[in-house]
Amino acid sequence: MTTPASNPTLASQIFSRNMLICVFTGFSSGLPLFVLLQMLPVWLTDKGLSVELIGVVTGVTLPYGLKFLWAPLLDRYFPNFLGRRRSWLLISQIILLILLYAISQFDPSSQLTIVANIAFLIAFFSATQDIVLDAYRREILTDKELGLGNTIHINAYRVAGLIPGGLSLYLATRLPWETVFLLTALCMLFGLFMTLFLAKEPKIAVQDRDKPFYLA
């Protein structure tokens, strides 16, 4: 006879700790990207930049397509204060929170190079966060949970787009852009909450030849 524990209901799977974590991973992953794709072009347009310059600045999303280049390094080398995954998550999320606000402190009409460099760093650390989130999600989910977990992650990812692509743009009609960027950046606190209080470091067996190198 199949027991309820071995055959959990869909409701019990959805309202579980792992699926709640997938909501946070999707939201944290989507927010920085949609800032670059939706919020940044509107801000640059409002500051009087041409379409050509806006296209150049928003083209800094290249790191998302190249993240496979440094993904193995994040797996092998990490600061050992929260573990392999959570350490990199905390670092990338704090940096993203700072950068998402810092970019608003420069005038793109006269300091476009600085703005473009910060946008590139946002893309780089967002891609870095994605690498770790994908690995973490795969490690905490069982094979049976993976399909549901990925679905929840993707939908939360899309919901994140409503912040910079909707709410933030509405607030920009009533508040200074610096305040709007600050409020948007503070949404990264959801990811920090997950990393510090909700997520637990997965217990993964590591062979001797694959032992990680702890950063001092």
pTM listed for this prediction: 0.89
Q: What is the pLDDT of residues 175-189, one digit of tens each?
A: 999 999 999 999 999
**Residue for token pair 């989130």:** 133
Q: Which pLDDT value is given to residue 215?
A: 55
State the pLDDT confidence band at 209, using cuts at 50, 70 and 90. very low
Q: Which helix (H) or strand (E) holds 90?
A: helix 84-102
Residue 59 parent element (H or E) = none
How far is the C-alpha of 194 from the C-alpha of 173, rounded, in Å? 31
CA distances from 15 to 9, 143, 144 (A): 10, 17, 15
Q: Which is it for strands 77-79 and 213-215: parallel, antiparallel or unpaired?
A: parallel
State pLDDT tens for residues 73-120.
Answer: 999 999 989 999 999 999 999 999 999 999 999 999 999 999 999 999
Q: Is the pLDDT of residue 124 over 50?
A: yes
For the cut 90, the answer to whether the pLDDT of residue 130 exceeds it is yes
Dist CA 76 CA 150 (whole Å):
24
Q: Could you write out the DSSP letters of every residue in 156-216? A: HHHHHTHIIIIIHHHHTTTS-HHHHHHHHHHTTHHHHHIIIII---------GGGPPEEE-
| Residue 67 DSSP code | G
Inform me whether the pLDDT recorded for 12 exceeds 90.
Answer: no
* Of the candidates 206, 199, 216, the residue with the CA atom closest to the CA atom of residue 22: 199
Q: In this structure, what token pair is assigned to residue 46?
A: 């409002």
